[in-house]
Structure 1
């Protein structure tokens, strides 16, 4: 499966591996190898880590805790203690190792290292100025959070491919249907 990476932050690209939350709830991590493939496509590690069913459940539990933490950050509400503890625990794990060889830098790590990167990025998001620019996509079915770095902070969609294109096409169709006066 090919995953979408448009958020410039690993946590904000991992959380939407369940898309259309509250509508279709499309789960993209249906098998352990899906998480391993996501980790490679995200560039966190270069070889798929070994993931079993229990590891996939662990990754999904962390994903849901991080989603609720991001949601609380955007909504300005208190984060649940259990979610904070789960993310803090994952963040304390070992990171992938970097190694410089003749052919470049290599990133290697197991599933726990991938989860540590994601959890640390979630914590760093809470500590960075990006937390003030977090927004939800304006598409009614999209549940992606994004960092609005646009001039004037008026960005509405998580990305122009997909949500933004659909909104522009719908607006065009509405204008074409409305008779000119």
Structure 2
């Protein structure tokens, strides 16, 4: 089941936080059903197989996601961590994570939605306490609220991804320049 989830942020916890898009305007929720949540876990590569979830799994995932986003924002802006968000993330990180298994075909990760969420929470803890913190940036598209890791030379990356926001903004800027440019004079 491919639902075209977007993975452009450079880290699974960042992509998870981005499952609520356009937070400042239209707010597009990706995690609307247990099936969509499980599809995200599968498409992210976090698990190879996942047991069916329920509405409570969706509620828990959204709660952890919002805590991760709050903490990312705190860290990015140099603020103290929000205490409630910290408690939510640490509580989720204490749960049993995905446990890889070795099979004849190789590594296999089968999990419950709760185990997948605990794994995302642990990844967020590692990110928020690790060396990539200074590389966290928010997308330059005013409609986008994705946070990404900027590993570009000189940290000049402006968008979460060229495929998503970069091309849209570049095309809009080009159209705006063409509209305001003086009409070229005709050749003699």
Which range, TM-score by smaller chain?
Answer: over 0.9
The corresponding residue for 1:45 is: 47
Between the aligned partners of 2:110 and 2:98, the Cα distance in structure 1 is 5
Q: Distance in 2 between matches of 1:22 and 1:6?
A: 19
Partner of 1:169 in structure 2?
A: 171
In 2, Cα distance between the equivalents of 1:108 and 1:48? 6
2:70 aligns with one of 68, 71, 93: 68
Give yes or no for contact 2:47–2:110 (8 Å, CA) kept in 1: yes
The one-character-per-residue Cα deviations of 1:30-58 (angstroms, maximum 9, x if unpaired) are 11111111111111111133311111101
Q: Does 1:95 align with 2:105?
A: no
Residue from 129, 132, 143 that aligns with 1:130: 132
Task: Select 2:38's aligned residue among 29, 36, 39.
Answer: 36
Who is 2:159 aligned against? 157
Q: How far did residue 103 of structure 1 move?
A: 1.5
Normalization by structure 1: what TM-score?
0.95
Deviation at 1:120?
A: 1.0
Alpha-carbon distance in structure 1 between the residues aligned to 2:88 and 2:178: 51
> How is 1:8-23 mapped onto 2 (pairs within 5 angstroms)?
8-23=10-25
Q: Is residue 34–residue 57 contact of structure 2 (8 Å, CA) maintained in 1?
A: yes
- Count residues in correspondence: 181
Aligned-pair distance for 1:123? Answer: 0.8
Higher CA-based Rg: 2
Q: What stretches of structure 1 move > 3 A for 4+ residues in a row?
A: none
> Would you say the 8 A contact 2:51–2:112 is kept in 1?
yes
- CA shift for structure 1 position 76: 1.2
Aligned equivalents of 2:20 and 2:51: distance in 1? 21
* Partner SS, residue 34 of structure 1: helix
State whether structure 2 residue 175 is matched by structure 1 residue 179: no
The secondary structure found in structure 2 opposite 1:129 is: coil
Counterpart for residue 83 of structure 1? 85
